[in-house]
């Protein structure tokens, strides 16, 4: 692990390849408030948290509180290392983590990345738009972008912004079709005028990445054809186009089917086309809606 002091009271802690079964460099952020220690995200399992807790405790023996920036597995699976702790998150994050379908899907896809036995530990203090600690000059802000529930920490005293996955190189991952909200978040970041910008997978970045991210998100929202010489960026852009389409199709299906929509059946119905073209996905989604309900039985709503 790499520990980097930030401002007067923060530490960016980065899990590097080899530190856990998850090979992607991933950072969590801790900041010492007056009477508590606030930890942003909990990586991929309890062993990750057990590895950093002695150092965190040596710096601050106060009550530890957790803030989940969004629902992705590499930000929440270590929650179970803190039984009884206050765990804060935006309300949409809580709803997604509480969904059996979403939880089981994440375990199937990424269970091999877990650092120790993972059990579901849900946020127990949720907010919609913001949660403030006025005596500490710290705010938790709903900043939709990478995901609809994405949230950020802003330390007004030191000007520190922890943007989690909303800023990433070479491109962000897009997991929602609600891209107008992403653009509004980036404009909000500009208005905050942070002195330091921290991320989950790109370390400390400069404000230019806010602009570059905005240009990319705006181009995707406008349906512009984009090409990239860099293979990583090209692959991520292709993934993003499919993820944005899947998000839009699910939203349309929910609106059309109403109470009989079944998330598990929807995922199962589209699974066969996930490696096919965007057009194939659209056609399959239209057929699923037209032939609803699925033949598998009673719906099990999210």
Helix (H, G, I), strand (E, B) or coil at 254: helix
Instruction: Tally Cβ neighbours within 10 Å of residue 208.
Output: 8
What pLDDT shows up at residue 61?
A: 63
**2-221 CATH:** 3.60.15.10
What pLDDT shows up at residue 295?
A: 66
pLDDT digits (tens, 9 = 90+) for 157-180: 999 999 999 999 999 999 999 999
C-alpha to C-alpha distances, 23 to 19, 139, 258, nearest whole angstrom? 8, 31, 40
- Work out whether the CA dihedral 107, 108, 114, 117 comes out positive or negative: positive
pTM, two decimal places: 0.94
pLDDT digits (tens, 9 = 90+) for 280-301: 999 999 999 999 987 654 444 4
């Amino acid at each position: 692990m790499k520990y980097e002091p930030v401002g007067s009271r923060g530490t960016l802690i980065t899990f590097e390849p080899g530190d856990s079964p998850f090979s992607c460099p991933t950072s969590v952020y801790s900041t010492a408030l007056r009477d508590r220690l606030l930890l942003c995200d909990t990586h991929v399992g309890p062993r990750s948290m057990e590895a950093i807790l002695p150092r965190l405790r040596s710096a601050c023996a106060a009550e530890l509180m957790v803030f989940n920036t969004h629902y992705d597995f590499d930000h929440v699976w270590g929650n179970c290392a803190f039984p009884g702790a206050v765990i804060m998150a935006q309300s949409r994050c809580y709803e997604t983590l509480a969904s059996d379908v979403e939880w089981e899907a994440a375990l199937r896809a990424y269970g091999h990345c877990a650092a120790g036995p993972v059990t579901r530990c849900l946020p127990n203090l949720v907010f919609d738009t913001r949660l403030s600690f006025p005596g500490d000059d710290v705010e938790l802000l709903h900043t939709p972008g990478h995901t609809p529930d994405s949230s950020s920490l802003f330390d007004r005293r030191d000007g520190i912004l922890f943007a989690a996955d909303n800023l990433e190189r070479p491109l962000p991952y897009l997991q929602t079709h609600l891209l107008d909200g992403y653009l509004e978040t980036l404009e909000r970041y500009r208005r905050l005028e942070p002195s330091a910008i921290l991320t989950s997978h790109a370390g400390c970045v400069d404000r230019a990445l806010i602009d570059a991210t905005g240009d990319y998100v705006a181009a995707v929202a406008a349906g512009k054809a984009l090409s990239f010489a860099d293979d990583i960026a090209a692959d991520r852009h292709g993934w993003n186009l499919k993820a944005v389409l899947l998000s839009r199709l699910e939203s349309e299906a929910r609106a059309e089917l109403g109470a009989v929509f079944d998330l598990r059946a929807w995922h199962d119905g589209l699974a066969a086309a996930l490696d096919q073209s965007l057009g194939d996905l659209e056609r399959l989604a239209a057929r699923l809606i037209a032939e609803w309900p699925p033949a598998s039985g009673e719906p099990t709503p999210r």
